[in-house]
């Protein structure tokens, strides 16, 4: 189990990374639609952006 990125929705880094890869996501909003990450307080959105940058190069 990898680190939890979104504590509001309980979404892990692994889940975010694999969903970005599977569905070719490009934006924080898309990650929210697919995983619910970032759709609570919004505090994790910069981290989601960092993961997007990392995965999409």
Which residues make up the interface to ligand FES (CB under 6 A)? 6-9, 37-44
Minimum distance, C-beta of residue 36 to ligand FES, in the bound complex (Å): 8
End-to-end CA distance of the chain: 24
d(CA 30, CA 2): 21
In whole angstroms, give the CA distance from residue 50 to residue 8.
18
Q: What's the min distance (Å) between Cβ of 31 and ligand FES?
A: 10
Q: Which of residues 33 and 40 has its CB atom nearest to ligand FES in the complex?
A: 40
Mapped onto helix, strand or coil, the DSSP state of residue 8 is coil
Whole-number minimum distance, CB 21 to ligand FES, in Å?
20
């Amino acid at each position: 189990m990898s680190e939890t990125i979104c504590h509001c929705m309980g979404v892990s880094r692994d889940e975010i990374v694999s969903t970005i890869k599977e569905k070719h996501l490009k934006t924080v909003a898309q990650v929210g639609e697919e995983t619910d990450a970032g759709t609570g307080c919004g505090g994790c959105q910069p981290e989601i952006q960092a993961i997007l940058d990392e995965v999409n190069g």
